[in-house]
Amino acid sequence: MKYLATKVWWEHLGKTLKYSLYVITHPLDGFWDLTREKRGSMAAANVIIALAVIIEVLRQTLTNFQFITVNMEYFNSIIVAMRILLPVGLWTVANWSLTTLMDGKGRMKEIYMSVCYALTPYVMINSVMIFLSQVITYEEGAIYWVLAGFAAVWTGILLLSAMMMVHDYSLIKTLLSSLLTVVGMGVMVFIFVIFFSLISDAFAYFVSLYKEIMFRLI
């Protein structure tokens, strides 16, 4: 029974991962069915975002130096991973927080899942770009940059389509809510920076106070 359950789980994961190829070519129908018809899964979403992180790390380390220069002495894969994970997390929380006030129908789980599925072109195209950078010359670099721009535009279109379908919004309302989401992300980052700055200052104060007390006692 355990083997059958595991087999069914892997088959479902494969099916929902494969569905991402339909989503990126039929975004409106794809994202509607992703959540309304339960054709997506959190497991597949997690796999896609994990692949996005891996591809970003590989892009930073394996892309030909003609197109990207990384000082490996200061390279930190955790920081690179945060460039993917933090925007996704901030967008999910900010969008959910705002759309609950704007009659949005999407739950946080659905927003996260849709954002992850929208990253599929980023994973696919950047995988090709890593290989491509090794076989083209600098003079042919326009191909590389066109692909990079295409990946960004395609992902952006998918993200807007996802928000439109998840929340059942019109295009204008989707654009407005997306703009407010970006503003909300900025506000969240500002609050986090202020909070950690205060914590850091408080910690430094207590450390200096402790040192002063110890100095007086000794």
Dihedral, 206, 207, 212, 215 alpha carbons, nearest 10: 140
Assess contact for 164 and 28: CB atoms under 8 A. yes
Is the pLDDT confidence value at 217 over 80? no
Give pLDDT tens digits for 64-90. Answer: 888 877 777 788 888 889 999 999 999
Q: Which residue has the tokens 């933090």?
A: 86
The token duo for 4 is: 């059958």
Separation CA 23–CA 10 (nearest Å)? 20
Q: Please state, in angstroms and rounded to a whole number, the distance separating the CA atoms of residues 218 and 205.
A: 20
Kindly report the pTM of this predicted structure. Answer: 0.86
Residue 22, pLDDT score: 94
Kindly report, residue by residue over 3-22, the tens digit of the pLDDT: 555 778 888 888 999 999 99
CA distances from 218 to 109, 111, 206, 213, 214 (A): 57, 58, 18, 9, 6
With contact defined as beta carbons under 8 Å apart, do 167 and 105 qualify? yes
Q: What is the pLDDT of residue 38?
A: 85
Measured distance CA(179)–CA(183) in Å, rounded:
6
Mean pLDDT, the chain, as a whole number? 88
Give pLDDT, residue 114.
94
* Nearest by Cα to 27 from 136, 144, 154, 137: 154
